């Protein structure tokens, strides 16, 4: 199901964490006026509408959406005593229901309402539309966590590309890294699990000392091979699996790090039509991995850290990838 979210930044992040990855985030609006405009351009299967959203509140935004581009709307409240009169006013304009995300059973309640809307619209559980935005992948080692936080902090909640991060880090620290990065960005960041599929607007972090790779059926998996490879999880292993199994060009970024892992994989992706970026020497904590990539002519662009997020956003907005 394609679900749109219209609410303030903090609530958007909460809702994204509550919505299972089987559903696609169609778009995100941070005020009622944006919600009305976006629903005209792209009508989702469901809108989660904040009652206290700014510019136009949830009531007025619901009224205009149901007038011009009607679709199921569930109101989102954050207190048990929020204005009941406004909830019923919005329901009078066509909202289906409301959910209090501060309640103890809030996620279960939200999932039940999403399921109900899916049944009403005849949407089968588990079916998702094809990802339209290009896949964005990162490889990093020494200095990588800070570099990743800088980039992700500049990607807004309505950035709808799937993201995968391969950071050289022991598995005992991978969950902490994902949780820390999640706090630095409005995107949803979590560790990658066996069998995961890439999901729009979600960042997945390689989570074990084995190598993350993309299978032929486009699910994520882990492998111990190559066993004797010094870099774990390996950027090259993941990039090579993308070159083999992901059919559309995306954006691959090789960040600061010791050694040479990722350089050959980056070159392979560039040859496959991907737009490839290497972090420059001045802003790299250790100019090893990106240096080798530059020497191999594997990078479409060589950029300082503070320009990488801008380049990614411009490429995603244009919808054209150049190698």
**Predicted confidence pLDDT, tens digits, the chain (323 residues):** 899 999 988 888 889 889 987 888 999 999 999 999 999 988 899 999 998 898 999 999 999 999 988 999 999 988 755 577 888 888 889 998 888 888 888 888 899 889 888 877 665 554 444 567 899 999 999 999 999 999 999 998 778 899 999 999 999 999 999 999 999 998 889 999 999 889 888 899 999 999 999 999 899 999 999 998 889 999 999 999 999 999 999 999 999 999 999 999 999 999 999 999 999 999 999 999 999 999 999 999 999 999 999 999 999 987 667 65
The reply to whether 261 belongs to the active site is yes
Sign of the alpha-carbon torsion through 207, 210, 213, 217: negative
Judged by DSSP in three states, 240 sits in helix
Of the candidates 323, 275, 270, 273, the residue with the CA atom closest to the CA atom of residue 296: 270
Is the Cα dihedral 214, 218, 222, 224 positive or negative? negative
- The two three-digit tokens of residue 261, written as one number: 């892992």
23, 30, 168, 211: which is the annotated catalytic residue?
Answer: 168
Candidates 45, 57, 236, 261; catalytic one: 261
Structure tokens at 74: 């569930």
Q: Which of 21, 39, 98, 141 is catalytic?
A: 141
pLDDT for 134: 93
User: What was the pLDDT predicted at 132?
Assistant: 77
Q: What is the secondary structure of 83-113 as a DSSP string?
A: -HHHHHHHHHHT--EEEETTSTTHHHHHHHH
Catalytic-residue membership of 182: no
Q: Tell me if residue 7 is catalytic.
A: no
pTM listed for this prediction: 0.67
CATH architecture, domain defined by 2-120: 3-Layer(aba) Sandwich (3.40)
Task: Please provide residue 3's backbone torsions phi and psi, each rounded to the nearest 5 degrees.
Answer: -115, 130
Residue ranges, comma separated, of all CATH 3.40.50.180 domains in the chain are: 136-318
Residue 127 has a pLDDT of 44
Q: What pLDDT is recorded for position 153?
A: 95
Q: Does domain 136-318 have CATH number 3.40.190.10?
A: no
Question: What residue ranges of the chain are covered by domains with CATH 3.40.50.2300?
Answer: 2-120
pLDDT at 323: 56
């Amino acid at each position: 199901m394609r679900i749109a979210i219209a609410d303030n930044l903090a609530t958007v992040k909460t809702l994204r964490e509550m919505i299972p990855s089987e559903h696609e985030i169609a778009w995100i609006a941070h005020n009622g006026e944006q919600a009305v405009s976006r629903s005209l351009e792209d009508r989702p299967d469901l809108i989660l509408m904040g009652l206290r959203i700014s510019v136009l509140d949830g009531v007025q935004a619901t009224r205009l959406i149901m007038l011009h581009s009607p679709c199921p709307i569930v109101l989102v409240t954050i207190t048990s005593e929020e204005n009941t009169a406004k909830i019923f006013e919005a329901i009078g304009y066509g909202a289906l229901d409301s959910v209090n995300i501060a309640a103890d059973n809030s996620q279960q309640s939200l999932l039940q309402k999403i399921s109900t809307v899916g049944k009403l619209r005849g949407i089968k559980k588990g079916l998702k539309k094809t990802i339209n935005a290009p896949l964005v992948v990162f490889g990093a080692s020494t200095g990588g966590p800070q570099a990743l936080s800088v980039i992700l902090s500049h990607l807004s909640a309505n950035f709808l590309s799937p993201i995968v991060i391969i950071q050289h880090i022991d598995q005992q620290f991978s969950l902490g890294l994902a949780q820390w990065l999640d706090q630095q960005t409005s995107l949803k960041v979590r560790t990658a699990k066996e069998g995961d599929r890439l999901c729009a607007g979600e960042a997945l972090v390689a989570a074990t000392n084995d190598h993350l790779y993309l299978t032929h059926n486009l699910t994520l998996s882990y492998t111990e091979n190559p066993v004797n490879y010094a870099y774990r999880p390996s950027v090259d292993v993941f990039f090579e699996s993308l070159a083999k199994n992901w059919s559309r060009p995306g954006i691959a970024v090789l960040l600061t790090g010791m050694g040479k892992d990722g350089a050959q994989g980056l070159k392979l992706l560039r040859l496959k039509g991907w737009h490839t970026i290497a972090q420059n020497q001045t802003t790299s904590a250790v100019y090893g991995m990106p240096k080798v990539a530059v020497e191999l002519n594997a990078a479409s662009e060589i950029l300082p850290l503070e320009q990488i997020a801008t380049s990614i956003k411009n490429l995603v907005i244009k919808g054209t990838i150049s190698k």
